[in-house]
Structure formats: C-alpha cells, structure tokens
C-alpha cells in the first residue's frame, strides 16, 4: 500500500480528530474537577492541529 504525503496527512487528521474527541470525552465524563478542563483544552488543541494538517493537504 503506497502512502503519499496527502494520504499520510489524511490519516494524521483522522487520528487527531479521534484523539480530540477521546480527550474531550475524558474531560467531560471521567474527570469532574480542574483536570477535566485540561483534558478538554488539549482535545481542542488536537482539533486545531488536525485543521492545520487538513489545510496542508495538496500543498506539501
């Protein structure tokens, strides 16, 4: 299976989105104190990085 740069970026975007949802879910469900805010913030950061990866597709 040949993976070019766009395929790698697509998989990275998908993985980052999944991890973002997992981290926000952990922050919302598992941790009710201040740690939950940290998990949710990191999850939102993952979304931002996934957005950048998606924007880079076709440009590198």
pLDDT value, residue 18? 92
Q: What is the mean pLDDT of the chain?
A: 85
Residue of higher predicted confidence among 59 and 51: 51
pLDDT digit string, tens, across residues 37-57: 888 889 899 999 988 888 887
Enclosing domain of residue 44: 5-56
User: How many whole angstroms separate alpha carbon 28 and alpha carbon 23?
Assistant: 9
Does 32 have pLDDT greater than 80?
no
**Mean pLDDT across 22-41:** 84
Does 1 have pLDDT greater than 70?
no
Number of domains, the chain:
1
Q: At what angle do helices 5-25 and 34-56 cross, to 10 degrees?
A: 160
36 CB-near residues (< 8 Å, 6+ apart): 26, 27, 28, 30
């Amino acid at each position: 299976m040949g993976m070019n740069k766009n395929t790698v970026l697509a998989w990275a975007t998908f993985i980052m989105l999944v991890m973002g949802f997992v981290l926000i879910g952990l922050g919302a469900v598992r941790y009710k104190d201040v740690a939950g805010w940290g998990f949710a913030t990191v999850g939102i950061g993952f979304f931002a990085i996934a957005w950048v990866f998606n924007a880079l597709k076709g440009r590198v």
